[in-house]
């Protein structure tokens, strides 16, 4: 996906128990849990780059530290020293509800009648407006515009004899996507919504303890060799002797794992729902080559999330694969910049075409998706300026015609180019010699061939939402002057 045309990441969460028991309110474990969370968040940086936070507990107290920007810049050594204890949770954020400000950074922490509580969330509640209104009418004060604050306040007031019971009570009332991590003074939990929208996995740490994260790549960074998915509706406690199921709620009859995790979000080395992301993307590209072949000399990718699909296209088409763009990886993903003018400038700063690869050749340029349609055209022009004889654009997913309400900020309405233009109209707008998308049927068949199991949400392509989204608030719907 081109950087300015991208849908925006949802967030990444992590939870750690470093394997040192916490008993009788006596803290232990140093700050190893927080440091492990810090390094796990590096592996999830691609999911959110606006802010990062970590909360840690030592059996007596719970401390949180948060900062704006990348994980590497959000924390100082003094922050890590303050985050002592054997249990911790962490969060890397891209805002899907609420503006990108420090007050909306996660985890959120509060004092409750049961002790301190912190919560970090990946996803979006479609009934957040209703839940927020209920809290305000009950006299609960709210200080941010994030649906995650609504979640932590609801959990703080929920009935139940222990935190898993309170979590399950809330999970029956929350509608939408919510993989989340909870930290108390002496325990860490994770849970996944009954539809299974967002990924979440857990595993045993090599030297004792357990960890959970949005993607398996983060757990492998910590040395977990066999992470497993947390099932839809399940609550898992991270214990010193490994992850333990603590109940949950009934999974939805309609499973709805986000197919866009395979198209774009997840790192290619991650695995969830039985499919490795790289293999799914490679099969997307191979299916695309079968559906939309092109007489060409070379296949290139728009780095980096399209590389696997481009390799699959080239292999299936019997064409050479080569690098067509040099990418400046130090600029960052330009979608976080606030104006279109800056985003367009970011494209030119981030990519240069490779004349030695494309000069005089018929080029197939594979991208994972087109959302707004603002940067595919500039990339096609870069290839032509570098001497490409023809440019054939191939997109490894179907046209995106519907907004997402489950934690993916892709905009909506006429902002989605495939909603207002035909495929031929898009081709003319971007200046390609040809343009073709992978069909929905071809994408789902390729995902199944890669090992993907269970039901998937593809509403951004089909408009078939797995639950009622009529009450969903906009991204900044809770902002106040």
Spatial strand order of the sheet with 115-125 comes to 108-112, 115-125, 176-183, 188-191, 234-239, 242-248
Which element (helix H / strand E) includes 444? helix 440-449
**Cα separation, 447 vs 459, whole angstroms:** 16
> Packing angle between helix 147-156 and helix 128-137, nearest 10 degrees?
50
107's tokens: 């985890």
For residue 25, the SS3 value is: coil
φ/ψ of residue 89, rounded to 5: -130, 155
Nearest residue to 472 (alpha-carbon basis) of 198, 94, 130? 130
Residues forming beta bridges with residue 238, ordered by sequence position: 188, 243
Which candidate in 11, 170, 201, 457 is catalytic? 11
Q: What is the dihedral of CA 374, 380, 383, 388, to 10 degrees?
A: 180
Q: Is the dihedral of CA 170, 171, 172, 178 positive or negative?
A: positive
> Which H, E and C letters describe 151-196, residue by residue?
HHHHHHCCCCCCHHHHHHHHHCCCCEEEEEEEECCCCEEEECCCCC
> Packing angle between helix 277-291 and helix 440-449, nearest 10 degrees?
140
Return the DSSP state at 265.
Answer: I
Q: What is the dihedral of CA 378, 381, 382, 388, to 10 degrees?
A: 150
**Cα separation, 28 vs 30, whole angstroms:** 6
5's tokens: 């045309």
What 324-330 contacts at long range (C-beta under 8 Å, 24+ apart), as own/partner pairs, is 324/298, 324/300, 324/353, 324/354, 324/357, 324/358, 324/363, 324/365, 324/383, 325/300, 325/301, 325/351, 325/352, 325/353, 325/354, 325/379, 325/382, 326/351, 326/352, 326/353, 326/354, 327/303, 327/351
Nearest residue to 223 (alpha-carbon basis) of 19, 452, 86? 19
Return the DSSP state at 44.
Answer: T
308's tokens: 């696997």
Active site annotation includes 11: yes
Q: Is the dihedral of CA 429, 324, 336, 119 positive or negative?
A: positive
Positions annotated as catalytic residues are: 11
């Amino acid at each position: 996906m081109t950087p300015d045309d991208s849908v925006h990441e949802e967030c990444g969460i992590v939870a750690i128990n470093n394997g040192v028991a916490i008993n009788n309110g006596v803290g232990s474990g140093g700050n190893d849990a927080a440091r492990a969370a810090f390094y796990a968040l590096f592996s999830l940086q691609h999911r959110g780059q606006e802010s990062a936070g970590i909360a840690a507990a030592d059996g007596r107290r719970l401390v949180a530290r948060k900062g704006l920007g990348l994980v590497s810049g959000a924390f100082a050594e003094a922050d890590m020293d303050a985050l002592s204890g054997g249990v911790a949770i962490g969060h890397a954020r891209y805002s899907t509800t609420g503006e990108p400000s420090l007050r909306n950074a996660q985890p959120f922490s509060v004092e409750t009648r049961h002790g301190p509580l912190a919560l970090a969330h990946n996803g979006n509640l479609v009934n957040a407006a209703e839940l927020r209104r209920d809290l305000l009418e009950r006299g609960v004060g709210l200080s941010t515009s994030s649906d995650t604050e609504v979640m932590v306040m609801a959990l703080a007031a929920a009935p139940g004899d222990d935190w898993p019971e309170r979590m399950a009570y809330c999970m029956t009332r929350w509608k939408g996507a919510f993989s989340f991590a909870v930290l108390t003074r002496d325990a860490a939990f994770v849970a996944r919504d009954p539809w299974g929208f967002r990924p979440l996995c857990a595993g045993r740490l090599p030297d004792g303890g357990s960890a959970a994260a949005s993607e398996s790549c983060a757990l492998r960074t910590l040395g977990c060799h066999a992470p497993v998915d947390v099932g839809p509706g399940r609550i898992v406690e991270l214990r010193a002797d490994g992850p333990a199921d603590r109940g949950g709620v009934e999974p939805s009859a309609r499973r709805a794992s986000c197919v866009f995790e395979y198209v774009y979000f997840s790192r290619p080395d991650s695995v969830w729902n039985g499919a490795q992301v790289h293999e799914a993307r490679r099969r997307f590209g191979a299916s695309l080559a079968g559906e939309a072949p092109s007489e060409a000399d070379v296949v290139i990718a728009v780095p980096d999330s399209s590389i696997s699909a481009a390799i699959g296209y080239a292999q299936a088409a019997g064409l050479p694969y080569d690098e067509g763009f040099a990418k400046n990886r130090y600029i960052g993903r330009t979608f976080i910049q606030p104006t279109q003018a800056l985003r367009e400038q970011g494209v030119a700063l981030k990519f240069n075409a490779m004349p030695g690869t494309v000069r005089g050749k018929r080029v197939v340029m594979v991208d994972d998706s087109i959302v707004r349609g603002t940067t595919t055209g500039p990339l096609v022009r870069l290839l032509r300026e570098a001497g490409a004889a023809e440019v054939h654009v191939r997109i490894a997913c179907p046209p995106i015609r519907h907004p997402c309400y489950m934690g993916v900020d892709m905009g909506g309405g006429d902002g989605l180019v495939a909603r207002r233009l035909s495929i031929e109209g898009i081709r003319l707008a971007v200046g390609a010699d040809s343009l073709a998308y992978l069909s929905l049927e071809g994408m789902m068949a390729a995902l199944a061939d890669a090992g993907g199991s269970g039901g998937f949400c593809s509403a951004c392509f089909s408009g078939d939402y797995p639950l009622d989204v009529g009450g969903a608030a906009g991204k900044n719907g809770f902002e106040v002057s």
